[in-house]
Chains A and B, each alone.
Chain A
């Protein structure tokens, strides 16, 4: 497995993780970012891309996604690299004090410094509260992502959910699966109106089964392999559907996850830091943005920006142990792109 070499590994590519690239770049430190989401921007791109933010200094108002785009522009001169759609599982300290940051897909990032800019935790799919569903996750037939659509060719598939994800995959897989059922708890869909219309049309044409005002109620199988899914309708009567795959698409929700297992001081799902430099109790590991906590902490993007600046001044000594840090203003020094 190829190892990605960098100066600073940043866990989380939300606004604070992104801005840290800029502050690091001013000090000639390279960064590689890793995020569980398939796109950069963290909570901003995932939850509220079109909402205006009013408290970013210099912007009376700016839409969340626009802020992300501008940050990407601002850090471009420092050539950051990204691993997206993967969650960091463990940190392995090397003999020289540096770290291997390892993802759930086996990607390894080797860095002198690790910066956790994880926000509220990695976004993970919402799991329906069905007894035994854990037994069927992964290879057992319950999938929360569609990684390879061909997996579902000629299979009996149930998709549950009412947003764009559920609609888009229903439309796509209706041509791939042998039989497809979409289960949704209300009568209307949250997703894009034309996607919703396409789904209604597919149902009318008999290409899919559309179960509205219905909920998943149970899962059954044999030997870890999913065989049936129970669905209840308005009248609370349960019908059992014979299936090969269940794809619950109920959106994403953040979880602290592995961050809680790295020996860091955690207080109420946040990483305690020293406000001198936002370092944690483990040397070379820092935490900035919503993920950290300290007396007086405010979960504001602008606070995360400040924390990133101070953190980088401290991280310098691990990346350039033989050099003296001299603070330079961008107005005096300019920006030297990598």
Chain B
């Protein structure tokens, strides 16, 4: 059986780039994958789009992602340093559609 592997490039706070390989069907958000991969993501609210601590910047592949919903936009608004390419990792479902995504994880504010 052919299982899709989803590849995501993550640039950490130290600028070190790591490629994460995630098997399809894992049913997790990008935030959960980043936490499991030992990135320093607080995820205070556990993934409810209520805290903005899972904020990442999309360097490549923004077009692969679904539009931000209202809750995500509201939370991004609270961040002093949010940019146009800012997303909340907890709102991004890991699926084959996001294969090739490249993101940057910054230091927690």
Interface of A toward B, CB cutoff 8 Å: 43, 47-48, 51, 120, 126-129, 160-163, 184-186, 190, 215-216, 248, 250-251, 253-254
| Shortest Cβ gap from A49 to chain B (Å) | 10
- The listed residue (A43, A120, A127, A190) touching B109 by CB distance below 8 A is A127
Interface SS of chain B: helix, strand, loop or mixed? loop
Residues of B contacting A250 with CB < 8 Å? 78-80
Contact with A along B71-84 (1 / 0, CB 8 A): 00110011111100
Point out the residues of chain B lying under 8 angstroms from A251, CB to CB.
Answer: 52, 78
Question: B80 to A160, Cβ gap below 8 A?
Answer: yes
Q: Is the interface of A mostly helix, strand, loop or mixed?
A: loop
Interface size of B as a range: 10 to 19
Whether B78 lies near A47 (C-beta < 8 A) is no
Q: What residues make up the interface of B, taking CB atoms closer than 8 Å to A? A: 42, 44-45, 48, 50-53, 73-74, 77-82, 108-109
**Are B48 and A253 neighbours in the complex by a CB distance under 8 Å?**
no
Residues on A with beta carbons closer than 8 Å to the beta carbon of B52? 251, 253
- CB atoms of B45 and A253 under 8 A apart: no
A-B contact sample (4 more), CB < 8 A, given A126-B78, A128-B81, A129-B109: A127-B80, A128-B80, A163-B77, A216-B80
B77 touches A129 (CB 8 A): no
Smallest distance from the beta carbon of B66 to chain A beta carbons, Å?
A: 20
| A253 touching B44 in the complex, CB below 8 Å, given contacts A47-B50, A127-B109, A190-B74 | yes
CB distance from B13 to the nearest CB of A (A): 13
